[in-house]
Amino acid sequence: MAVLETSDLKQLLHACAQGDADNRITFQNAFGESIYNYPIKTFRLSVDKAADFYIYVFEDDRIFRRVRRFEAHNGAQFKTYLNYYVLRDLFLEWQRTLKEPETISLATPISDDSGESGKTLEDLLADLTPNAADSLDGAGDAAEFKAFMEKLDPEKAFLLKLLHLGDFDLSPQEIRVLCKKSGRSYREIITDIEETRNRLSKKDEQLATLHAQLESIYGWILLYQKELGKISERLNSFAEASPHFAENRRQIEQLKRKLGWRYRQRDQTLEKVRQFRVTTPYKDIARLLNAPMGTVCSLIARTREEISGVITKVDVLREAAAI
């Protein structure tokens, strides 16, 4: 973390709070790497999730609204203030935004206009699922996105390609830029890019496996829910003293235990999916550019903010291509 004189630091923080772009870049270059590494070192967060936290920190001027309150009284150090007050509070605030939304059973009855529940939520979702003819035109979207990339500022387009190395090919000119910035040969850069792509490809396969596991888990949950409904309805037709009543109660308790296990399995798998990012790790981009991690974090955060819709577009196109 950079060490600045008290007067220089106060001036920098004040200018950042006022929205000065150049000083904000200076701040990110000076403290970006420390901010990026904070959740990794303190909370054992994965590298991919640390990148999400970094973006959250700078969105909506969150960090600048907080650091402007810093006063270097009684030997107080900005590093301590930043880590133990600002970043800690921001991390806990960010975690609260990641809570899983409430879910609803696919077997939930859906009432029609007459008030009668003739269909379940599963039936309704099946009716709304588009057929192949109505699906997304992947080729058209790809052409549209390519046209957008051509209109984008070359530096931003280049950084976006590096962030999504698994999806984009670099031009010979862009590879020469990497050679010049890193001081390495063309062959070394090509090898580095291919190794990075191989790692991203493996992560993509792992993510696909997790999604397949989720589909299986939800299938079991739906099956258990339906079976539980049938047995519960049948239970009402037996007297409590009947052996059939006891057997059905035993089956219900068994199904509830199985459901509980599947729900826990679902939650664990969803958390693994949330941890996954198939984008190029910041450390790999920093190595390709031969640039400090803080500088790379700063560049990507600013680029994401300026072209936030493009990042979403890339993800949509990737998902469409996988269907």
Mark 60-80 as b/e (b = at least 16 C-beta within 10 Å). eebbbebbeebeeeeeeebee
**Global confidence as pTM:** 0.54
Taking each helix axis from N to C terminus, what angle separates 293-306 and 154-163, rounded to the nearest 10 degrees?
A: 110
Report the alpha-carbon angle 321-322-323, nearest 5.
95
Residue 48 has, within 13 A of its CA and on its CB side, a CA count of 12
- 305 and 169 in a common domain: yes
Q: Which residue has the tokens 């970006």?
A: 32
Closest CA to 123 of 134, 110, 132: 110
Q: Which residues lie below 8 Å from residue 33, measured CB to CB, with a gap of 6+?
A: 1, 292, 293, 294, 297
In a domain, 127, yes or no: no
**Domain final residue pick, 96, 128, 158:** 96
pLDDT digits (tens, 9 = 90+) for 103-120: 445 555 544 444 445 555
Q: Which residue has the tokens 């090509």?
A: 190
Q: Which residues are paired to 120 by β-bridges? A: 109
| Residue 179 confidence (pLDDT) | 93
- 14 and 77 in a common domain: yes
Give, as one character, the DSSP assignment of residue 68: T
Domain span at 222: 139-322
The parts of the chain modelled with pLDDT lower than 50 are 75, 100-104, 110-116, 121, 124-141, 316-323
| Residue 191 confidence (pLDDT) | 92
| Residue 273 confidence (pLDDT) | 81
- 211 and 318 in a common domain: yes
Cα 275 off chain centre by: 7
Taking each helix axis from N to C terminus, what angle separates 282-289 and 47-58, rounded to the nearest 10 degrees?
A: 90
In a domain, 132, yes or no: no
Residue 73 has, within 13 A of its CA and on its CB side, a CA count of 3
Phi and psi at residue 120, to the nearest 5°: -100, 170
**Domain final residue pick, 43, 75, 96:** 96
Residue 132 has, within 13 A of its CA and on its CB side, a CA count of 1
Taking each helix axis from N to C terminus, what angle separates 243-275 and 47-58, rounded to the nearest 10 degrees?
A: 70
In a domain, 103, yes or no: no
Q: Which residues are paired to 119 by β-bridges? A: 110
In a domain, 129, yes or no: no
Other Cβ atoms within 10 Å of 150 Cβ, number: 9
Structurally, the chain folds into a number of domains equal to: 2
| Residue 158 confidence (pLDDT) | 87
pLDDT digits (tens, 9 = 90+) for 7-50: 788 888 889 989 898 888 888 888 888 898 888 888 888 777 88
Cα 163 off chain centre by: 14
**Domain final residue pick, 80, 96, 112:** 96
In a domain, 51, yes or no: yes
Give, as one character, the DSSP assignment of residue 236: T
- Contact between residue 35 and residue 27 where contact means Cβ atoms under 8 Å apart: no
